[in-house]
Chains A and B, each alone.
Chain A
Amino acid sequence: SQKIEQNSEALNIQEGKTATLTCNYTNYSPAYLQWYRQDPGRGPVFLLLIRENEKEKRKERLKVTFDTTLKQSLFHITASQPADSATYLCALVSSYGNKLVFGAGTILRVKS
């Protein structure tokens, strides 16, 4: 069956450090992968989309890598700030229908 796995434990890091979040998937052949941020009680907010032929994508302090051989995406936040504390979700298009499927998300806590 298709699975998307993200670190189930919260990631606690110190302000200024780089946060790295992992998204692993099985039984998918995604053309692209997306990352979203979600704050408590609010809807997810789109951050980045990376295509299968792109190894890396950057947006300001954010960087995403996509390794289709390892079936893994890494999401980096450099120079992290307490305001980056949130849940980060990765999402893939399911092979069964044209729908976006989300991982369970990883909670990031940045301490000052």
Chain B
Amino acid sequence: KAGVTQTPRYLIKTRGQQVTLSCSPISGHRSVSWYQQTPGQGLQFLFEYFSETQRNKGNFPGRFSGRQFSNSRSEMNVSTLELGDSALYLCASSLRQANTEAFFGQGTRLTVV
């Protein structure tokens, strides 16, 4: 079956702009989590959605938001981009809960200039 698909793979944005990233989980998976990965901080949990509801949130400012649709696809949005938002954004899907085996997508490499 198809894996987790993230689009786009690469993105370059200017400071102050906003960006939307998309994630299609594995068919049948209802939990989608988002992570930010940077060389200095490693993998940092952003939030988790399950059945269209945000179930958990990490320690990120309100500029980072997300949502999940009825087909389990998820989007995350970052507004008022800052240089420090440059990172690899990873989406992971799980069958039921975020704490079980997670299947990651290839990620979206966001560069803010």
Contacts and interface: CB of A to CB of B under 8 A. Distances in A.
**From DSSP, what is the main secondary structure of chain B's interface residues?**
strand
Instruction: Tell me which of B4, B90, B104 has the highest count of chain A C-beta atoms within 10 A of its own C-beta.
Output: B104
Interface of A: 34, 36, 41-46, 49, 89, 91, 93-94, 97-105
B42 A43 contact: no
Nearest to A105: B42
A56 B88 CA distance: 33
Contact of A43 (B45, B98, B101, B105): B105
A81 B98 CA distance: 31
Interface of B: 4, 33, 35, 42-43, 45, 48, 55-58, 88, 90, 92, 97-107, 109
A104 B109 CA distance: 19
B102 A100 contact: yes
A50 to B, nearest CB: 12
A43 B97 contact: no
B17 to A, nearest CB: 23
Contacts of A49: 100-101
A99 B48 CA distance: 8
A102 B99 CA distance: 11
A42 B98 contact: no
A89 B44 CA distance: 13
30 contacts: A34-B101, A41-B88, A41-B109, A42-B106, A42-B107, A43-B106, A44-B90, A44-B104, A46-B101, A46-B102, A46-B103, A49-B100, A49-B101, A89-B43, A91-B102, A94-B45, A97-B57, A98-B55, A98-B56, A98-B98, A99-B33, A99-B58, A99-B98, A99-B99, A100-B45, A100-B92, A100-B99, A102-B43, A103-B42, A104-B42
Contacts of B102: 34, 36, 44, 46, 91, 100
B92 A43 contact: yes
B106 A93 contact: no
Contacts of B107: 41-43
Contacts of A44: 43, 90, 102, 104
